[in-house]
Structure 1
Amino acid sequence: MGIMKEILFLAHRIPYPPDKGDKIRSFHILKYLTESYRVFLGAFVDDREDWRHAAKVRALCAETCLLPLPPLLGKLRSLVGLCNGAPLSVPYYFDRRMATWVEKLMVSRHVGAIVVFSSAMAQYAEKFSSLPRIIDFVDVDSDKWRQYAASKRWPGRWIYRREAERLLRFDRRIARTFDRALFVSQEEAELFARLAPESAARVMAMENGVDSGYFCASAEYPSPYPDDAEVMVFTGAMDYWANVDAVTWFAGEVFPEVRRRRPKAFFYVVGARPVGAVRALGGREGIVVTGKVPDVRPYLKHARLAVAPLRIARGVQNKVLEAMAMGRPVVASPAAMEGIQADPALVGVRVVERAPDWREAVLAFLETGGREGIGNREFVLERHSWEVSLARLGRLLEAV
């Protein structure tokens, strides 16, 4: 490639550690970009624990601008959106220091392209229309807010509905002016193309991958579970509303009957920052809420199956792909499987919606001990590789 090109990468959250959905994707994008470009990274840090990873991120980049963003401050900034008609997520992520850093960078360096991760960060790249710009929306977030509105009471319903409308308007503007708009699945790309037909030609999918070397059941891990326990496991950030809704529904509608019929059944909720409603589940018989764990792989390897009872979801669920890469059977809702084109003949995956069907699917995998999950790993290796997915981004950057 000769002299290494320079690129600006803007992300709404520091792309490390790759321990939750958006940070897994942004980290792999960052790592991929650093293989061919000198990368200038601008990102916010909204979790004080993540500052200890700043040195690792800086080591990957030519220069970084990492700014603190306590959630309370972000919410106060969002109030600006109520006054000026903007979607609340845009002022949430506005910081004059970030804007100044980007503007100075554009004057002092030879940045050849801009990659933006999440639409709220596009505000820092809008004025640089002479440069190739790629926006990774990841999901159609406006439709997520629309779904939230349908399940909330006033005033939450009004706020979420407003955010759905204003964010879609903002995202359509960004998609019209950027060179390419990426989404995590073909379904998400097609949905946005229908909502923003004027930009359909610029919209494409770039699917999530799985680090199949890391998520590999052949490695030895001690079991974190009691002897003879028949475990179903849910993994994910437990302060995220859709995950909270999923595990509370499963704990109430599915698990009690499973536990009655198989007294050794346990439901493990594995993930950082469990909110009060999730912690309370740990007081029920057979349910364990772990909080943050140093490594999720032992919990996946030694579980009979993984469950993903998401009722509201967007894009590709990494939790599903990771469980499949570990060779575990998966029972998932249609929403959780929306972005994963699993072969209907794949015996290690059951997609169910009604509570009675959930109970029967879970009981079936508990009965067999999870042997059906072996083929799930082969599916992931064939269909969900980061190398294949990110090569698409590389081709786009070379073409624009």
Structure 2
Amino acid sequence: MGDILFLSHRIPFPPDRGDKIRSHHVLKALAGLAPVHVATFTDDAQDYRSEPELAAIAASYCLVRRRKPLVLAGIEALATGQPLSLAAFHDHRLKRYIADVVTHHDISVIYVFSGQMAQYVPAAFHGRVVADLVDVDSAKFEAYAEKREGVRRWIERRESRLLKAEEARIARTSDLTLLVSEAEAALLRSRLDPGVPTNPICGMGNGMDSAHFAPAHVAPEPRMLEKGSPRLIFTGQMDYLPNVQAALRAIERIMPRVRESFPNASLHVVGRNAPPALKAYSGRNGIEVWGRVDDIRPWLAGADIALVPLAIARGVQNKVLEAMAMRLPVVLSPEAATGIEARDGWHFLTAPSDEALADAVIALAGDPPRAKVMATAARSWIVANASWEMALAQLPTYLGFNSGLSDAA
């Protein structure tokens, strides 16, 4: 087999957020199979700190700072009739690098990570194309639109409609389309025109490095231990709309009810780029918004319960897997549990409403032995069922590096 070209919308280092965790482990697995050439973007100057790690694993790479203002991307999207998501990630430097790699190297597979990057697959490329969409983004923007009004609703509906068409194009033109779970794969299939044939679509789940995310290896964050208990935690990229909405839900509607039973309870929102709407709550009524941290594990180790009240959730939530691996009892919405085949009521506790989520937190906080049993069962499930080795076991087959592709897909 020849080399692999890996296209990713963000540099897969460090693996400190959901999409980068998946792309990081996929890239490592690809590099174990063949030389890999990487075309990717940085979001900020801090991302360049990881360039040596990228250089160490890649046969060659192109790392481009994504600086295009959102307004300019919007103008381009309107002028070309394409989704804003694609315009925002369009860059001529990356396109030239990809053309050069395909011309001068024996590329047998292009692995597309995230739908924004499928626009870079050269039309004349005759090798195998595997598109890892991770989530069905068109469905996500459709859900956003339902919660918007006016111009923002029009923008979200337009993005959903155009991304749906792009997802259909990717499914037709890629040899294989991957999603983060079989449920997400089924959702994509359901949104395609049944009269138009596509190539195989299947799920490839996320894993968890349970040796790294192990409570025995880290001490609890001291600043967190200074706050009242029970200590609840919500983690994630805090400029991501579903995370912002979930954090506000926890702050405004769940925590007041929890504090009626536990007046000293605290909620810790941990993740980079928290907007002013979240920061405004920090230091009041048991709420602490900590921002970006170098290592999430001490913060998880300092918590008593992970609270994940996502209303919009696509694919598998790494924040849930991480909390389970760190032996934390997790209270979550049904949406946040999607794609995690653990047992509700034993490995975690789902609840459908604000009141039910608060009551679940209160019940676990008031029954430490039950919370400990659930947390122990959660970690045991992660160790037994959610390794990256298991998640990516079929990757060589998906790439066509061994036989049996049609059966696997």
TM-score of Structure 1 vs Structure 2, range by shorter chain: over 0.9
The one-character-per-residue Cα deviations of 1:121-143 (angstroms, maximum 9, x if unpaired) are: 11111414411000000000000
Displacement of 1:49 in angstroms is 1.1
**Partners of 1:202 and 1:226 in 2: how far apart?**
49
Q: State the match for 1:327 in structure 2.
A: 327
The 3-state SS of whatever aligns with 2:316 is coil
Whether the 8 Å CA contact 1:184–1:207 is kept in 2: the answer is yes
Q: State the match for 1:105 in structure 2.
A: 101
Question: Quick one: structure 1 residues 200 and 354, their matched pair in 2 at CA, closer, same or farther if it must change by over 3 Å?
Answer: farther
Displacement of 1:78 in angstroms is 3.4
Question: Quick one: structure 1 residues 317 and 394, their matched pair in 2 at CA, closer, same or farther if it must change by over 3 Å?
Answer: same
Question: Quick one: structure 1 residues 348 and 273, their matched pair in 2 at CA, closer, same or farther if it must change by over 3 Å?
Answer: same
- Counterparts of residues 2-13 of structure 1 (less than 5 Å): 5-13=2-10
Q: Which amino acid aligns with 2:389?
A: E
Displacement of 1:84 in angstroms is 2.0
Displacement of 1:199 in angstroms is 5.0
- Counterparts of residues 251-400 of structure 1 (less than 5 Å): 251-344=251-344, 346-369=345-368, 370-371=371-372, 372-397=374-399, 398-399=401-402
Displacement of 1:200 in angstroms is 5.8
The one-character-per-residue Cα deviations of 1:300-323 (angstroms, maximum 9, x if unpaired) are: 122111011011110000000000
Whether the 8 Å CA contact 1:5–1:36 is kept in 2: the answer is no
Question: Quick one: structure 1 residues 128 and 393, their matched pair in 2 at CA, closer, same or farther if it must change by over 3 Å?
Answer: farther
**Partners of 1:364 and 1:328 in 2: how far apart?**
15
Name which of structure 1's ranges 202-211 and 376-385 shifts more when overlaid on structure 2. 376-385
Displacement of 1:170 in angstroms is 1.1
| Residue 134 of structure 2 is aligned to residue 138 of structure 1 | yes
Displacement of 1:389 in angstroms is 1.3
**Partners of 1:243 and 1:339 in 2: how far apart?**
18
Displacement of 1:82 in angstroms is 1.0
Whether the 8 Å CA contact 1:250–1:309 is kept in 2: the answer is yes
Whether the 8 Å CA contact 2:2–2:108 is kept in 1: the answer is yes
Identify which of 195, 200, 204 aligns with 1:202: 200
Q: Which amino acid aligns with 1:388?
A: M
The one-character-per-residue Cα deviations of 1:362-391 (angstroms, maximum 9, x if unpaired) are: 011111233121100111122222101112
Identity of aligned residues (%): 39
Whether the 8 Å CA contact 1:348–1:376 is kept in 2: the answer is yes
Displacement of 1:297 in angstroms is 0.8
Identify which of 198, 208, 217 aligns with 1:219: 217
Whether the 8 Å CA contact 1:304–1:365 is kept in 2: the answer is no
Identify which of 57, 62, 82 aligns with 1:60: 57
Displacement of 1:56 in angstroms is 1.1
The 3-state SS of whatever aligns with 2:246 is helix
Whether the 8 Å CA contact 1:129–1:177 is kept in 2: the answer is no
**Partners of 2:27 and 2:357 in 1: how far apart?**
38
**Partners of 2:197 and 2:343 in 1: how far apart?**
31
Whether the 8 Å CA contact 1:194–1:200 is kept in 2: the answer is no
Identify which of 161, 164, 170 aligns with 2:160: 164
**Partners of 2:74 and 2:255 in 1: how far apart?**
39
Identify which of 35, 40, 43 aligns with 1:43: 40
Q: State the match for 1:28 in structure 2.
A: 25
Q: State the match for 2:145 in structure 1.
A: 149
**Partners of 2:146 and 2:18 in 1: how far apart?**
24
Identify which of 114, 119, 125 aligns with 2:115: 119
The 3-state SS of whatever aligns with 1:295 is coil
**Partners of 1:220 and 1:283 in 2: how far apart?**
26
Q: TM-score, normalised by structure 2?
A: 0.93
Q: Which amino acid aligns with 1:124?
A: Y
Q: Which amino acid aligns with 1:350?
A: L
The one-character-per-residue Cα deviations of 1:210-257 (angstroms, maximum 9, x if unpaired) are: 111110112241443235632010011111111110011111111012
Whether the 8 Å CA contact 1:188–1:315 is kept in 2: the answer is yes
**Partners of 2:130 and 2:39 in 1: how far apart?**
15
Q: Which amino acid aligns with 2:354?
A: A
Whether the 8 Å CA contact 2:333–2:352 is kept in 1: the answer is yes
**Partners of 1:78 and 1:134 in 2: how far apart?**
28
Paired positions, count: 395
**Partners of 1:200 and 1:389 in 2: how far apart?**
24
**Partners of 1:56 and 1:144 in 2: how far apart?**
32
The one-character-per-residue Cα deviations of 1:332-378 (angstroms, maximum 9, x if unpaired) are: 0111111212223x524111121111111001111123312110011
Name which of structure 1's ranges 94-103 and 194-203 shifts more when overlaid on structure 2. 194-203
Displacement of 1:75 in angstroms is 4.4
The 3-state SS of whatever aligns with 1:44 is strand
Whether the 8 Å CA contact 1:232–1:307 is kept in 2: the answer is yes
Whether the 8 Å CA contact 1:234–1:306 is kept in 2: the answer is yes
Name which of structure 1's ranges 45-54 and 25-34 shifts more when overlaid on structure 2. 45-54
**Partners of 1:200 and 1:81 in 2: how far apart?**
26
**TM-align CA RMSD:** 1.6
Whether the 8 Å CA contact 1:310–1:335 is kept in 2: the answer is yes
Whether the 8 Å CA contact 1:33–1:39 is kept in 2: the answer is yes
Displacement of 1:81 in angstroms is 1.5
